[in-house]
């Protein structure tokens, strides 16, 4: 009789142990923190929060291919603005982006988009040579050129990397050392000083946090 009671007791405790195991493992996969959302927030009629979105775009990369927002669909990516003849902050920024590229070279969901602010000088061939200079032979790090006004609008209005007024004409010029981190839904999730190695280390850590966030949501 006692043996039978022990048997039923064991049967009753198994579901409890399973629940404890499930909760523990669920918590183990939860990110230590969630990255914030940047940019102006709106609310719809249902009072849901609508976060700032990167708008649609169309540029040309170093392979003379058209790159649009569809190219980075379901991707986490880092973006910056530079020009190939820059001798001050741009070489430092590109070197720091090499760290990001090397860290996530085997992660299909991670990309880098570098936009020229001098499209009149940085042709497709020039961008290809610049990519080769940094050892880039794939399509995980794309160097983009195109219409100057659209490039500058993206920097100011979509990526919020430059707050100075300008209309993208021949007298307009953007020179910023900042990187932006964009999630799979086109939201801005972080800003970083591309000339500061410690801040780029923070960027790498935040990308990993974002990966954990998506894994947890699944």
Task: Say yes or no to pLDDT of 44 above 90.
Answer: no
The predicted model scores a pTM of 0.84
Do 110 and 77 form a contact (C-beta atoms < 8 A)?
Answer: yes
Question: What are the residue ranges of helices labelled H in the chain?
Answer: 2-29, 89-103, 124-133, 148-153, 197-217
The number of residues making up the chain comes to: 218
- Name every residue whose Cβ is closer than 8 Å to that of residue 150 and which is 6 or more positions away in sequence: 57, 58, 59, 168
Min mean pLDDT across 17-21, 61-65, 159-163 is at 17-21
Q: Which of 33, 105, 109, 31 is nearest to 76 (CA)?
A: 109
pLDDT at 106: 94
Written as six digits, the tokens of 36 are 């914030």
pLDDT at 156: 96
């Amino acid at each position: 009789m006692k043996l039978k009671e022990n048997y039923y007791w064991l049967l009753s405790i198994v579901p409890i142990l399973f629940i404890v195991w499930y909760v523990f493992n669920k918590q183990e996969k939860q990110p230590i923190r969630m990255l914030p959302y940047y940019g102006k927030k709106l609310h719809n009629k249902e009072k849901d929060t609508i976060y700032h979105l990167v708008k649609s775009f169309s540029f040309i990369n170093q392979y003379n291919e058209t790159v649009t927002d569809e190219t980075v669909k379901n991707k986490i990516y880092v973006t910056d603005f530079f020009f190939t003849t820059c001798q001050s902050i741009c070489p430092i920024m590109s070197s720091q982006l090499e760290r990001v590229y090397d860290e996530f070279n085997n992660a299909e969901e991670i990309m880098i988009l570098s936009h020229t602010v001098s499209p009149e000088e940085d042709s497709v061939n020039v961008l290809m040579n610049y990519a080769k200079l940094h050892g880039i032979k794939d399509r995980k790090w794309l160097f983009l050129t195109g219409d100057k006004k659209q490039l500058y609008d993206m920097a100011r209005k979509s990526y919020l990397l430059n707050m100075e007024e300008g209309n993208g004409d021949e007298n307009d010029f953007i020179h910023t050392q900042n990187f932006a981190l964009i999630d799979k839904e086109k939201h801005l999730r972080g800003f970083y000083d591309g000339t500061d190695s410690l801040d780029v280390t923070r960027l790498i850590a935040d990308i990993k946090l974002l990966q954990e966030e998506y894994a947890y949501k699944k």
